[in-house]
Structure 1
């Protein structure tokens, strides 16, 4: 089989490499964040994918991104820019928050007239985990920072009921499959917890699948894509797209017979993909800016994924998947984690405890 090279060698690339081993796939994540004149021994039959939407230009990144088998090569830049991403969604009539480009002719007052008292500015590129965002509040007379003009979009604040995400795969022949919708909790813009599947989200599944199918078809996309949405009653609004494996779908490592990393590799390598099957419900806890704790390994229903990164505030350093098949055991594990994890985890763990029972 061909070698699969991954633009980026973070935790997503590492988990793709691990998922490729049982399939006999040679998966090589590549560090492209540091300038390098290195040349890789790429074969014409090799396949290139990516774990991130953006990367610095260097001889190494150009060698990978200009390879004829760079899957979805034209898609990454289009979706990495919120202006072109939103423009795509509008062009194919996918519901999203009302928005506009912040150019030199836009003022804070006109944005408030158009979108209301609170308006969210988002950097066109580079913002993630709550970074690259700036709120305009009419009650505080905030204005548009000069260095945000031309480099950001403005969005109407959405009073959503919940945040959900859908992850699906599209094969080269156009066939699509999807995992169940996931319920997510963000804190300070960072994903803290995911629950999946939940029976009460099932009525929204067909709507979400139709939206993501249309998006992937419009891009002739191959592989795994994530669609983050706001739920407003019985309707979904797309918040953001990610043309790659996604943090909210880490639960599939425990909960599905084919996890998202294997699923993506099967698609880009054009291997067979049988119907996706859920093995068990899962509660996923992101480990953010916390030191390694060996007590996590004593939880009978838990699987730990530790990324081996230096621990810094706000940095994702691992995640725990908790088997939610036994509600009593899950509640015990969540209660135990409350006593082990710092104060910022008390609200998310309580949220998990409450919502896994709905």
Structure 2
């Protein structure tokens, strides 16, 4: 029997465990509270749900384990500096950028990158944390400890954001889901919309880029690539070497979810192209209390993470999919009064995307 240990025990590890059950694959998410004697890591394949996992004696051992798939890839992608250097090496389109080493570089930064600079910590920082949008008169807001530990990018005037979730097997074969359209607010993904047929040109460009990255790294498993949509084509924003929030719609909207696809890849099971037959919408639940009235709507699938509800914290998501976009839009409309007011704009955006 194949077994998988997951570095990290957040919601992604939880959903990997759920996906393993029907396959007969025991999945062991490993966090701070894991008991070493209860985790059969010596007989397991090792993967991760997050780029920076909890630090314990057990997780250190797992991170060195010879069966840790992509062990040497994580440091490259977890550091935005080496991630950007990878894009440049492969001649893949991304926002112009540079390492931000010292304060004296600011005049040259704005000369080169334009009036809006996006500063990102090299490691850590997600969901809008560890990032700053600065103009020339605002650089004093940046903490001193950022210098040498951040990259700075040109602020891109994009028309939309999309992500591609794909997987590569041990034999080098790759499969991809259709592009997902994403709406972020304050750096946090609020809503995603996916269609069975994506824009052909964008899908082809995205698949070519992500395939090149996975092949270069000899990567195995699911990887997500976030992109800006611009008139000149897609620009890669960031990579995630794991299952990703923008792929959660696949749990109910595809024949194989991203979580099952990742497990299949890392334990070397067949990796067919997932089938997507209808449009899907995913609504992130952020700092919002559980409300079972959502389930009165027949298209709604609730995925609750059983985490303490705190402002800004992802505590669950709702998936909706249907071949009838009018019915999908009507269900989204019926959700609005069942959610806090700040969800209305994201739902309106999804309805607009569904047309």
TM-score calculated relative to the size of structure 1: 0.95
Superposed CA offset, 1:239-292 (max 9, x none): 000000000001111111110000000000001122221132211110111000
Native 8 Å contact 1:112 1:118 kept in 2:
yes
Instruction: Spell out the pairing of 1:61-72 with structure 2 (5 A cutoff).
Output: 61-72=59-70
- Alignment of 1:60 onto 2:48: no
Superposed CA offset, 1:287-324 (max 9, x none): 11100011111111111100100001111011011113
| 1:64 to partner: Cα distance | 0.8
Query: Which residue does the alignment assign to 1:125?
Result: 123
- Alignment of 1:345 onto 2:343: yes
- Alignment of 1:7 onto 2:28: no
Instruction: Give the 3-state SS of the residue equivalent to 2:83 in structure 1.
Output: helix
1-structure distance, mates of 2:6, 2:110: 43
Which is further off, 217-226 or 101-110?
Answer: 101-110
Native 8 Å contact 1:167 1:227 kept in 2:
yes
- Alignment of 1:145 onto 2:174: no
Q: 1:69 to 1:163 in 2, by over 3 A?
A: same
Native 8 Å contact 2:176 2:273 kept in 1:
no
Superposed CA offset, 1:203-232 (max 9, x none): 311111000000000100000000000011
* Alignment gaps of 5+ in structure 1: none
Q: 1:138 to 1:30 in 2, by over 3 A?
A: same
Q: 1:193 to 1:207 in 2, by over 3 A?
A: same
Matching residue within 95, 98, 109 for 1:97: 95
Query: Which residue does the alignment assign to 2:320?
Result: 322
Instruction: Give the 3-state SS of the residue equivalent to 1:22 in structure 2.
Output: helix
What is the aligned-residue RMSD (CA, Å)?
1.7
2-structure distance, mates of 1:44, 1:329: 49
Query: Which residue does the alignment assign to 2:133?
Result: 135
- Alignment of 1:51 onto 2:28: no
| 1:144 to partner: Cα distance | 4.5
Q: 1:77 to 1:200 in 2, by over 3 A?
A: closer
Instruction: Give the 3-state SS of the residue equivalent to 1:218 in structure 2.
Output: helix
Query: Which residue does the alignment assign to 1:192?
Result: 190
| 1:89 to partner: Cα distance | 1.0
| 1:84 to partner: Cα distance | 0.9
- Alignment of 1:20 onto 2:20: yes
2-structure distance, mates of 1:59, 1:117: 46
Matching residue within 279, 284, 287 for 1:286: 284
* Alignment gaps of 5+ in structure 2: none
2-structure distance, mates of 1:105, 1:329: 54
2-structure distance, mates of 1:119, 1:171: 38
Instruction: Give the 3-state SS of the residue equivalent to 1:54 in structure 2.
Output: coil
2-structure distance, mates of 1:234, 1:117: 20
1-structure distance, mates of 2:203, 2:163: 10
Native 8 Å contact 2:28 2:39 kept in 1:
no
Query: Which residue does the alignment assign to 2:303?
Result: 305
Query: Which residue does the alignment assign to 2:106?
Result: 108
Native 8 Å contact 1:171 1:222 kept in 2:
yes
Matching residue within 68, 71, 74 for 1:73: 71
Which is further off, 243-252 or 139-148?
Answer: 139-148
Superposed CA offset, 1:70-128 (max 9, x none): 00011111111101111111111111111001113743222111111110110111110
Which is further off, 138-147 or 19-28?
Answer: 138-147
Native 8 Å contact 2:5 2:41 kept in 1:
no
| 1:134 to partner: Cα distance | 1.4
Instruction: Spell out the pairing of 1:193-212 with structure 2 (5 A cutoff).
Output: 193-197=191-195, 199=197, 201-212=199-210
2-structure distance, mates of 1:65, 1:309: 26
Q: Count the aligned residue pairs.
A: 355
Instruction: Give the 3-state SS of the residue equivalent to 1:74 in structure 2.
Output: coil
Query: Which residue does the alignment assign to 2:216?
Result: 218
1-structure distance, mates of 2:146, 2:19: 40
